[in-house]
Amino acid sequence: MSNVPENSVYGGPSSQSLARRVTLTSLRQKHRRGEPITVVTAYDYPSAVHLDMAGVDVCLVGDSAAMVVHGHDTTLPISLDEMLVHCRAVARGAKRPMLVGDLPFGSYESSSNQAVDTAVRVLKEGGMDAIKLEGGSPSRITAAKSIVEAGIAVMGHVGLTPQAISVLGGFRPQGKNISSAVKVVETALALQEAGCYSVVLECVPAPVAAAATSALKIPTIGIGAGPFCSGQVLVYHDLLGMLQHPHHAKVTPKFCKQYAQVGDVINKALLEYKEEVTSGSFPGPAHSPYEISPADVNGFLKELQNIGLEKAASAAAAVVERSHESKSSDGENATK
């Protein structure tokens, strides 16, 4: 419940979803029943509230915030402290979804101890339920295993792993030849063996994703990986058509379906606001709700005059006069 009084000027939304919190157990049950798992990547309180109300299963606080929110060209620059800010904001807004926080580049590669320490912070300071880490190199498999052994749920991530663009040579799909396709499946299996409860498959051909999904006992979450995964994930801003990633400056990612054109709505609203402020039509009487009684107005005007602010008193008096004229006009129109 909000601690803001009901009659205050500002107030947050009321409690969102009354449904039970999604847990690792409920996700596993859903997977066993063959029900698709819904995941959305989001980065702040308002988007988390929307996910909560929509009943999305999992909210991933992704390091893609570096690009979508902070405007970088890659995911690499975002720091752990910045990620924790996003995690906390999402945790305040999403009460139903399972919350998963990305480990940002540079926060877990040095050692298993560093990986565990970072994962602990994401849960304790970020309010997350689990963490996600990228890649399937031996050191990252070891890191995933260590984090699981520390009692923290881990989601793996194979295929296109944006943190590895230095090695991959850019944002390139994976699994498009025999060796690469086999590597995707083998890496997913290794992450399962390390104790991951789920694996994201990003930008791989549908047959490769289907093979990995069939080979694994844990759910796969696809993004640009076809319809044969255990679930799907898209970025909040992408699926709403809010903006474009810097590395897709001219087009939306090929795998993304836009379920709305919210960016167009936002642009239209901002232009209308600018025009109304410029023309003086906003704010009108309907959006100027706070009044001062006639007696207090007179006293206020006298006080202004007493302290030598005659010009200010005249300005206030003119506003009162215009308000009276407007109300009189409205009254006359209502009786016609």
In the 8-state DSSP scheme, what is residue 163?
G
The SS3 of residue 278 is: helix
Q: Verify whether residue 202 is a known catalytic residue.
A: yes
In the 8-state DSSP scheme, what is residue 37?
E
Kindly state the tokens that stand for 95. 């009460």
- Tokens 């066993």 label which residue? 32
Burial of 285 (0-12, 13-18, 19+ CB in 10 A): exposed
- Tokens 């979508």 label which residue? 68
Please state, in angstroms and rounded to a whole number, the distance separating the CA atoms of residues 67 and 164: 15
In the 8-state DSSP scheme, what is residue 286?
G
Catalytic residue among 109, 125, 202, 275: 202
Nearest of 38, 47, 134, 143 to residue 89 by alpha carbon: 47
Residue type, 96: R
Which alpha helices (DSSP H) does 103-219 contain, by range? 112-124, 138-149, 165-168, 178-194, 206-215
CA atoms lying within 13 Å on the CB side of residue 128 = 32
Please state, in angstroms and rounded to a whole number, the distance separating the CA atoms of residues 295 and 175: 78
- List active site positions: 202
